Amino acid sequence: MASEQNKGADAAVIQFILDEIESVPHLEALLLLRNSRPQKWTVENLSKRLYISREGVRILLDDLVRRKLLLVDSADSTYYYAASDERDRLIGRVDETYRHQLVRVSQLIHSKPSAAVRDFARAFRFTKEE
């Protein structure tokens, strides 16, 4: 029965990654903010920490905010992690999986089509006519 629970946890983690994580830097940023809470991060500080351009960081942070995985404090343009208890537990399992299966998670992220390709494909889905 424990293996059934692990399969469920793995399925939830995989589904979260497929649905919410666009790139390894998205995941790295999310986990960094989660693990350093309640610290708030500026685009510049995160850019230095993740070795990504400020514009790249701004884009991925805005995407994570849009997905309701991070919040932004408009008063000082800082980003921080805030999630419901349930979502936090799931992201904790994502973190654990990523730490123990870095290559597998990275391959999963790299193997999925980009958001633009998925949106384009969705526009052409047809339903079976009765």
- Establish if 55 belongs to a structural domain: yes
d(CA 102, CA 71): 26
pLDDT (tens, 9 = 90+) of the chain, 130 residues, equals: 444 444 444 889 999 999 999 999 999 999 999 999 999 999 999 999 999 999 999 999 999 999 999 999 999 999 999 888 999 999 999 999 999 988 888 888 888 765 544 455 555 555 554 4
Rounded distance, CA 103 to CA 41, Å? Answer: 27
User: What 8-state DSSP symbol labels residue 113?
Assistant: P
Which residues constitute the domain of residue 40? 2-123
Residue 11 located in a structural domain: yes
In a domain, 54, yes or no: yes
In a domain, 128, yes or no: no
In a domain, 129, yes or no: no
For residue 8, tell me if it sits in a domain: yes
If phi over 0 gives left and psi between -120 and 50 gives alpha, with beta otherwise, what is residue 69? alpha
Q: What is the CATH number of the domain that holds 70?
A: 1.10.10.10
Domain count, the chain: 1
pLDDT at 54: 95
**CA 85 from centroid of its chain's CA atoms:** 16
- Answer for the pair 107, 17: CB distance below 8 angstroms, yes or no: no
The two structure tokens encoding residue 88: 């936090």
